[in-house]
Structure 1
C-alpha cells in the first residue's frame, strides 16, 4: 500500500500559513487476523486508537478490517510485498517468512519480563532480513491456549488419537501428545466441531464461549504458552516516515503502550471463565504430574522445531530470552 501512503502524504502536503510550514501527516492501511467485533481485537483497537491520538497530525492508522478484507494467513506476505501497509497478525501465521516468528508464543513470561531481555530488538533484526519491519507486539500474556473438547478426558494420555484443530505454533505439541492436528482458520472451528470433523481445538479463553455452547463440553487446564500479536509494517512504507517519527513511534509502542495493553487481559480472561461456566463447559484439571509434563512437552516440542527451521544458534539465543 505504498501508493496509498504516498497519496495521503501528497494530499496533506506541506503548506504555508502565515509563513509557517504545516508538517505532513502519514497514513497507513492496516488489516488484522480477526474481525473488528471479535473480543481478541480489543487490543488492536486500543493500539490503533492510542497511536492515532498520540501522533495526531503526524501519523495515522486506517483499520481496513480483518479476514473479510484479506485472508489471515496471507496478510504478512501482503505487507512484505506492499499490497498492504500494516498487519496485526499471529506469530505462527507467517513462520514460513520469518521462522523465528512463532517464538513470541513460546514462553510463560509477561511482556515486561521479555522486554528487558532484548528479545524485541533481536526480532527486529530477524524480520529485517525478510524485508519486514517488526514494529512491536500487541501482548496478551494472560491469554494462554487451552484444549477444548466435545468429550471428557482424565489424563494427558487420553488425548492420543483425538483430532485437534490448531494454529501452526501448536502443531509440534499436539503431535507430541499423539493427537492428530488440523490447521484451520478460526472461522471454521465451529462448523468442524458441529460436523464431527474434529474432536476439539486449542484456543484462548476470551470472548467466544456462548457461541460454542452445545458443541464444546469440556476445557482442559492448565493452558500453555502466552499470546502476543506482532505488528508488521511494509519496509518501503516505513521508510517514508522521517527517522525521528519512526523512533518516537517505536518507543511509544514498546515502552508505553504494549505494557498497558498486556495488563488488560487479566480481567478479560477472568470474564472468559465466567462465560465458559455459563455455556456449560466442564473444567478438567490435569494432575500436577500431567500438568508439569504438558508444559514441558509444550516447550521442548516447539523449540525443537524452531531449532530446525531458524537454526540452532538462533533458537538457543531466543529461548534464553523467553524461557527460564
Structure 2
C-alpha cells in the first residue's frame, strides 16, 4: 500500500511538472522581447526616463512584452538609433528627430526649430493637430513609425553653455561650438564655426578646447551632466530651440506583430511617461537656475539684438528650404505655422 501511494505521489508530481513546463513553454513562446535605446549617456534625464519607461512597459504587461533598455551608443553609435530601428536591430528608440536630417530634412522642423512651437503647443500639434501623421508620412519608405503621445516636447533648451560671453551678433562669428539640427545650420550661416558631437562627448570636448561653446538640452538635464564645471556662461533664450523634443520611434514590423492589447498598453505607458518627463524637467529647470548661479556660473539672457538676428536668419532659411525640399517639408512647415496662429489666438 505504501509503495502504491509513493507511486501515485510520484505520478501526480510528474504530471504537475509536465503541466508547469508546458505552461512555462507556452508563456515563453508568447513572450515578446524588444530592445530599445535612448540617445544620451546614463546621466541624461531623458535616458533615465527612457530606461524607467522600458521597465514600466515590461511590468505593466506582466512580462508578456519585455523591453530591454540600452544607453545611447551601446548598441549603435549615439544619434543613429532610428537607423537601427528601421533595420530591426532595435525595436524602439527614444531620440531627437533632428538627428535624422540625413534622411528627412523636415525632421528639423519638429525638433528644436528656431522660431518653432514651444512645448505645450508642440505636443498638442503632434497629438491632435496632425503632427504624428505628418511625421509618419515624412518617414515613409523606412521601417519605422511613431504615434500620438510619443513626443515629449521638454522645456526650451539652454541657448549656449560657453567659455565666452555672447553679447552681440559679432560674438557668434568664429565661435567654435557644438550645435545640431536647423539651429546649427542657421548659426553657421551667421558665422559660427559649428560642429556636431554626441552629448556624451561634450564635457571632454570643452575640457580639451575642441569647442568653446555648445547647446545640448534643458537646464535640468545639463546640470545633471555637470556642465557647470566646464562653462562659465549659461546663456538663456528660446530663440534657437523653444522646445527640445524627443520622440519614440518603433520598428513597423515589430509594432504590427504586437497583439492589440499590448499596442494599447505601449501607447498608454509612453503617453504618460513623455508627459511626466516634460513636467519634471520644467520644474527641475526652474531649480537648476539657482544651482548654476550658486556654483559660480553667470546666467543671463541672450540680448534681444541677437535674438532678432537669429529670427531673421531662420525665416530666410525656412523659406529657402520650403521652396527646394520635398513637398512634405512645406506641408509640415505650413501645418505648424497654421497651428501656431490658431494656438496664439487663444492665449
Q: What TM-score does the superposition give when structure 1 sets the normalisation length?
A: 0.81
Q: 1:100 to 1:153 in 2, by over 3 A?
A: closer
Shift of 1:309: 3.9
Tell me if the contact between 1:206 and 1:269 (Cα under 8 Å) persists in the aligned partners: yes
- Match for residue 142 of structure 1 among 155, 159, 163: 155
- Match for residue 28 of structure 1 among 9, 25, 34: 34
Q: Secondary structure at the match of 1:34?
A: coil
More strand by share: 1
- Match for residue 277 of structure 1 among 290, 293, 309: 293
- Match for residue 187 of structure 1 among 181, 192, 200: 200
Residue of structure 2 equivalent to 1:240: 257
Unpaired segments ≥5 residues, structure 2: 1-21, 342-347
Tell me if the contact between 2:61 and 2:265 (Cα under 8 Å) persists in the aligned partners: no
Unpaired segments ≥5 residues, structure 1: 1-9, 16-21
Q: Cα deviation per residue 1:81-130 (whole Å; 9 max; x = unaligned)?
A: 11222211221222223332232222224254322212112213332432
Q: 1:171 to 1:267 in 2, by over 3 A?
A: same
Matched, 1:259 2:271: no
* Cα RMSD (Å): 3.1
Larger Rg: 2
CA distance in 2, matches of 1:13, 1:238: 23
Shift of 1:251: 5.0
Residue of structure 1 equivalent to 2:304: 288
CA distance in 2, matches of 1:310, 1:142: 29
The number of residues matched between the two structures is 308
Tell me if the contact between 2:292 and 2:299 (Cα under 8 Å) persists in the aligned partners: no
- Match for residue 319 of structure 1 among 316, 319, 336: 336
Shift of 1:11: 10
Shift of 1:323: 4.1
Tell me if the contact between 2:119 and 2:156 (Cα under 8 Å) persists in the aligned partners: no
More helix by share: 2
Q: 1:303 to 1:104 in 2, by over 3 A?
A: farther
Tell me if the contact between 1:162 and 1:199 (Cα under 8 Å) persists in the aligned partners: yes
Shift of 1:57: 4.2
- Match for residue 113 of structure 1 among 124, 142, 146: 124
Q: What TM-score does the superposition give when structure 2 sets the normalisation length?
A: 0.76
